[in-house]
Amino acid sequence: MENILQEIKDKLIANGQDPENYLKGLKHNRAINYWEYVMVDTLLTLQNPRTDFKDETIFIVYHQITELVLKLIRHELDQLCLSEMQPSLFVEKLNRMVRYTDLLCSSFSIMNQGMSYEDYNQFRLSLSPASGFQSAQFRFIELMCTDIDLLIPAYLRNRVTTETTIEEKFSMLYWQEAGFNRETNKKNKTLSDFEQKYLPLFVQSAHTMKTHNLNNRYKLILPKLNETEQKSFIEALRNFDRKYNIEWPMVHLETARTYLKSKGETKTATGGSHWEKYLHPAFQKRIYFPDLWSATELENWGVEK
């Protein structure tokens, strides 16, 4: 016990704290319960349906779960991109991201098989212009994972020069296709509202991640590893890239097809995008680590068999 107390005192002193006052304060601490630590009561009040359709609650809870899982991925990326660590820990954190993405993929059955087709296509009418497209966490993850130039569609990349600023590149990103008409030069409300709220933060993140994104980080680390370590490293990166950028979008697409195309008519997305084209990984070809894939794999990215 004396050793533990001394270790606590040493840590507090190292952090510039007064050990005596800190330890005196501990005697006033009360025991914590599960519901307090997890804030269960607060968590369960965060669902506010806009209609009386019962399955809207399922829809809200599912998307809140998705945002929490995305937060777990960002939590790992914060460390992978901005901290130094041993290669084995780097791989472990990549594998955590793979497991989180597996959860995103498997959880889509909650949506795909768990809601009334009729109810969904009624309550969704009250949600416009809201769209899952407006998930800021999804965009932050993209900017943390790869070079911003790789988020620009192939047909626009010839417009990028050494003089093109990060701010200018944002007008070219693939996700502009969901709400920006390049012929009329107009943005829909889903996109314009989204950018009004988040664009300055995205630009700031892009500047920070210009040299720190995961695609750059792994290239610095890989040459320092032995052959066995390199194999594990590359496998983890490829697993995440495939699952996050092919498997997850495909289960998302299949769910959209269930509710928007399965009964003889094709419905529009609440955000107004051409959802089937936008969601399909073969169209987007969002690839975070292209150097880890063969030419054939890149060509067939997301192609349905």
241 in a structural domain:
yes
How high is the pLDDT of residue 269? Answer: 62
DSSP string, 35-76: HHHTTHHHHTT----SSS-THHHHHHHHHHHHHHHHHHHHHH
List beta partners, residue 186. 181
77 in a structural domain:
yes
- 283 pLDDT higher than 70: yes
270 in a structural domain:
yes
Residue with more model confidence, 8 or 208: 208
| Lowest-pLDDT choice from 164-168, 185-189, 268-272, 280-284 | 268-272
Encoding tokens for residue 12? Answer: 């507090």
Whether pTM > 0.95 for this model: the answer is: no
- The predicted-structure confidence for 99-116, as pLDDT tens digits, reads as follows 999 999 999 898 889 999
59 in a structural domain:
yes
- In percent, the amount of the chain with pLDDT more than 90 equals 67
How high is the pLDDT of residue 23? Answer: 79
223 in a structural domain:
yes
DSSP string, 149-175: GGGS-GGGGGG--TT--HHHHTTT-GG
- What is the rounded CA–CA span in Å between residue 22 and residue 28? 11
- The predicted-structure confidence for 17-54, as pLDDT tens digits, reads as follows 888 888 788 888 888 999 999 999 999 999 999 999 99
Tell me the mean pLDDT in the region 59-63: 96
- The predicted-structure confidence for 253-274, as pLDDT tens digits, reads as follows 988 888 887 766 666 666 555 6
For residues 205 and 216, is the Cβ–Cβ distance under 8 A? no
- 276 pLDDT higher than 80: no
196 in a structural domain:
yes
- Total domains in the chain come to 1
How high is the pLDDT of residue 27? Answer: 80
Encoding tokens for residue 145? Answer: 């994972």
Average pLDDT, the chain: 91
- What is the rounded CA–CA span in Å between residue 106 and residue 38? 24
SS3 for 197?
Answer: helix
Range of the domain at 246: 54-127+134-298
Name the one residue in this structure whose structure tokens are 């990103």: 173
Tell me the mean pLDDT in the region 117-145: 94
- 303 pLDDT higher than 80: yes
- The predicted-structure confidence for 197-224, as pLDDT tens digits, reads as follows 999 999 999 999 999 999 999 999 999 9
Encoding tokens for residue 179? Answer: 């709400």
37 in a structural domain:
no
- What is the rounded CA–CA span in Å between residue 256 and residue 37? 36
How high is the pLDDT of residue 119? Answer: 93
- 15 pLDDT higher than 90: no
48 in a structural domain:
no
| Lowest-pLDDT choice from 108-117, 133-142, 216-225, 227-236 | 108-117
- What is the rounded CA–CA span in Å between residue 134 and residue 122? 21
Residue with more model confidence, 58 or 179: 58
For residues 218 and 289, is the Cβ–Cβ distance under 8 A? yes
How high is the pLDDT of residue 17? Answer: 87
Residue with more model confidence, 23 or 196: 196
Q: Give the CATH number for residue 112.
A: 1.20.58
